[in-house]
Structure 1
């Protein structure tokens, strides 16, 4: 059976593990129990809820509120910061402009990454370094920059602590991933609005996919829509107030030789007359890093299934190459505007 076409379209709600991150900072045996939970959840499902993470709930509400404010701006203000203006894949994408598996995603979004200065010269064999650069910000919403960058920094700290926890859960030193983020973790943040189904052509908010980085942390509002493919069935991941939905990315699958699971997931559009907002944070190693392959031992090594290579989705241990392939595929307008030579080379 093709993994994107499960036989049973009916939805059910699984009981995703709920992990309290405060237990990672507790004394033994509570800390070890958390690491065991983390390992099982990431190996068996690839998704879990994270509570006890220490992120200010007021900041959570602020970032959802500023997202609504941005998407409520006049069209001209949003289009003034369109992603197609940015060779770094930063800015606004209108509804239907992003593609997953070649089909339109019915959502609008605002993408940003770490604030940086664009490189003046990029080697031909490192085209992913063009992802480095400044974000675009709407002049009509001056409060947005401070709130969103504070949010991004909070999630950077949390995700790097989570990465240390994963290393320990896999029997490695807590520093196992440090070299791959020593030059700064690659950060990608999306503010997303899914309009009601009366405004869309079908129910694809975003199509079935896996994430390209180490970890993804998603803050959902009160409206359901996120679904995960488990045992050939799509399962709804209901919102849980104050929590993050965390999922494993392709880089952790590669690093663990397939012991950890990057799971297919999608978002369906809300019912007519309802909108859905979410904020997704993607964390990866720095763009010039190579994914470290962890020396698993014992039962962990025996249970490692090897990374799952799919015909339509090649996996690369070169972090920048893995990140850039997804950006080029998802945003063909940006690719055509700024990566024409690279596309021509690939076609040849």
Structure 2
């Protein structure tokens, strides 16, 4: 008898009541978040604080950027940045964790982080397109306005996660709001796959996010899919206008001692003549944060599944893996290399 394929639906959580401070809404939202992350690892949030106006202006700005001539975009290529920001070429990254022979990701991107001096891993200045180019006169201002709005939202989502774990609501505040944290706002453009093509384009291969929390804004084209691990089947995450797909990454799974799930997902571009645009905001928090099992996440009488891990060490390893597969070399800061050598010597001793 054939195994019945389950219907997997991504929960939709309205957080408007939580944001107004309603105590009953806080409790209800926390319970929905707990259920989603214990079972799916994904949810979509509506009723949030990012206005439709800034979302629309941001997507319009992103669309204008990706329509620029390739030579204009290459002037601010990620390869020119010592802190790996700016334009990312198609096939510059390969995220597939299920197929070693998979092709590189068929997307292009543009990344920014907080403006900082060079020094720590991924810290430094952003690159921006020439404002005299078509549609670029307010690109920087719009992108930063959007960054700030979603960063603020991410801090509230961390507070909901804390409540869902029966922790103090502000438990993650220092981690999520650290001014030197490695938040990333990366917009994507997926070229269309014509309807007469023989197969769908692999936009992003199957992977889990390796940080703590991701907030994804989709347009209406679709293509995001999540893996139902028990059956090995893939299920679409239908776009909801204005909503954020909100999933945890490997760091949060480790932090919760596997109580919450970092779920495998991918983007398979639909057969269409329409370009797809999206933007992922990653709040991977404080570089010096030591991640170890949270209170209440280790069953009585058992030991934690993982030892302590520094966020910076984890991110260096995973960035080098994913970008290295696409031919992009990510260097660790010299200081971090030396610290790792000292740590290794101490362990050996």
Q: What is the TM-score of this pair, normalised by structure 2?
A: 0.83
Of residues 176, 180, 192, the one that matches 2:175 is 180
Aligned mates of 1:131, 1:163 — CA distance in 2: 22
User: 1:285–1:254: structure 2 CA closer, same or farther, 3 Å change rule?
Assistant: same
Note if contact 2:121-2:312 (Cα within 8 Å) is conserved in structure 1.
no
Aligned mates of 2:303, 2:60 — CA distance in 1: 42
User: 1:201–1:260: structure 2 CA closer, same or farther, 3 Å change rule?
Assistant: same
- What secondary structure sits across from 1:64 in the alignment? helix
Tell me how far 1:339 sits from its aligned partner.
5.6
Note if contact 2:222-2:269 (Cα within 8 Å) is conserved in structure 1.
no
User: 1:340–1:204: structure 2 CA closer, same or farther, 3 Å change rule?
Assistant: farther
Aligned mates of 1:326, 1:254 — CA distance in 2: 14
- What secondary structure sits across from 2:282 in the alignment? strand
Aligned mates of 1:112, 1:219 — CA distance in 2: 16
Aligned mates of 1:340, 1:267 — CA distance in 2: 32
Of residues 316, 321, 327, the one that matches 2:313 is 321
Of residues 20, 27, 35, the one that matches 1:32 is 27
Of residues 190, 193, 197, the one that matches 1:197 is 193
Aligned mates of 1:257, 1:79 — CA distance in 2: 42
Q: How many residues were matched structurally?
A: 319
1:278-317 Cα shifts (integer Å, max 9, x gaps):
01100012112212531116xx847x9976x9xxxxx982
Aligned mates of 1:57, 1:50 — CA distance in 2: 14
- What secondary structure sits across from 2:125 in the alignment? coil
Tell me how far 1:250 sits from its aligned partner.
1.4
Aligned mates of 1:180, 1:93 — CA distance in 2: 28
The residue number in structure 2 matching 1:245 is 245
User: 1:49–1:305: structure 2 CA closer, same or farther, 3 Å change rule?
Assistant: farther
The residue number in structure 2 matching 1:20 is 14
More off after superposition, 20-29 vs 83-92:
20-29
Tell me how far 1:180 sits from its aligned partner.
2.9
The residue number in structure 2 matching 1:125 is none
User: 1:292–1:340: structure 2 CA closer, same or farther, 3 Å change rule?
Assistant: closer
The residue number in structure 2 matching 1:219 is 217
Tell me how far 1:81 sits from its aligned partner.
0.7
Tell me how far 1:171 sits from its aligned partner.
0.8
Note if contact 1:254-1:317 (Cα within 8 Å) is conserved in structure 2.
no
More off after superposition, 265-274 vs 73-82:
265-274
The residue number in structure 2 matching 1:131 is 122
Tell me how far 1:340 sits from its aligned partner.
11
Tell me how far 1:165 sits from its aligned partner.
1.3
The residue number in structure 2 matching 1:296 is 296
Which ranges of structure 1 fall in alignment gaps of 5 or more residues?
Answer: 1-6, 120-128, 310-314
Aligned mates of 1:42, 1:78 — CA distance in 2: 38
Note if contact 2:292-2:308 (Cα within 8 Å) is conserved in structure 1.
no
- What secondary structure sits across from 1:207 in the alignment? strand
The residue number in structure 2 matching 1:3 is none
Aligned mates of 1:174, 1:187 — CA distance in 2: 21
More off after superposition, 262-271 vs 25-34:
25-34
Tell me how far 1:201 sits from its aligned partner.
8.7
Aligned mates of 2:217, 2:189 — CA distance in 1: 12
